[in-house]
C-alpha cells in the first residue's frame, strides 16, 4: 500500500479535537488508540477519526496542519460537525 502524506483530526472522548500529520494513517491511529501517539490523546480515549486530507508532499501536510491548528477552535469544531465525508485527493468516502 502506498503511503500518503496527510493531515488528520481526531475527536477525543471529551469532545476536544487533536490535529496531526502522518504518512501512514492506519499506523498512526493505532498508536493514538493504544495510548502511544501523543500525550494529549493518551488520556482522552476512545478516539474517532473525523477528518483526513491527503496532500502531495510532507511539506504541504505540515503547512496544512499548521493552518488548521491556527483556526479558532469554535470554527474548527463547526467545520468538523458539518463535514459528513472523509475527503482525500482522489475520492470522497463517507465517514461511518
Torsion-angle region of 33 (φ positive above 0: left; ψ -120 to 50: alpha; else: beta): alpha
Q: Residue 22 forms beta bridges with which residues?
A: 6
Which triple of cell numbers denotes residue 16?
Answer: 476536544
Q: Which residue in 6, 4, 2 sits closest to 61, CA to CA? A: 6
> Grid coordinates standing for 27?
499506523
**pTM as predicted:** 0.76
**N-terminal to C-terminal alpha carbon distance within the chain:** 22
Answer whether residue 75 shows pLDDT above 50: yes
Greater confidence (60 vs 78) lies with 60
The predicted pLDDT at position 42 comes to: 93
Amino acid at each position: 500500500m502506498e503511503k500518503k502524506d496527510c493531515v488528520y483530526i481526531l475527536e477525543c472522548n471529551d469532545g476536544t479535537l487533536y490535529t496531526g500529520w502522518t504518512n501512514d494513517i492506519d499506523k498512526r491511529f493505532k498508536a493514538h488508540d493504544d495510548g502511544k501517539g501523543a500525550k494529549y490523546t493518551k488520556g482522552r480515549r476512545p478516539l474517532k477519526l473525523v477528518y483526513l486530507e491527503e496532500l502531495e508532499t510532507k511539506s504541504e501536510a505540515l503547512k496544512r496542519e499548521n493552518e488548521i491548528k491556527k483556526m479558532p477552535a469554535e470554527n474548527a469544531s463547526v467545520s468538523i460537525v458539518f463535514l459528513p465525508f472523509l475527503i482525500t485527493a482522489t475520492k470522497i468516502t463517507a465517514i461511518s
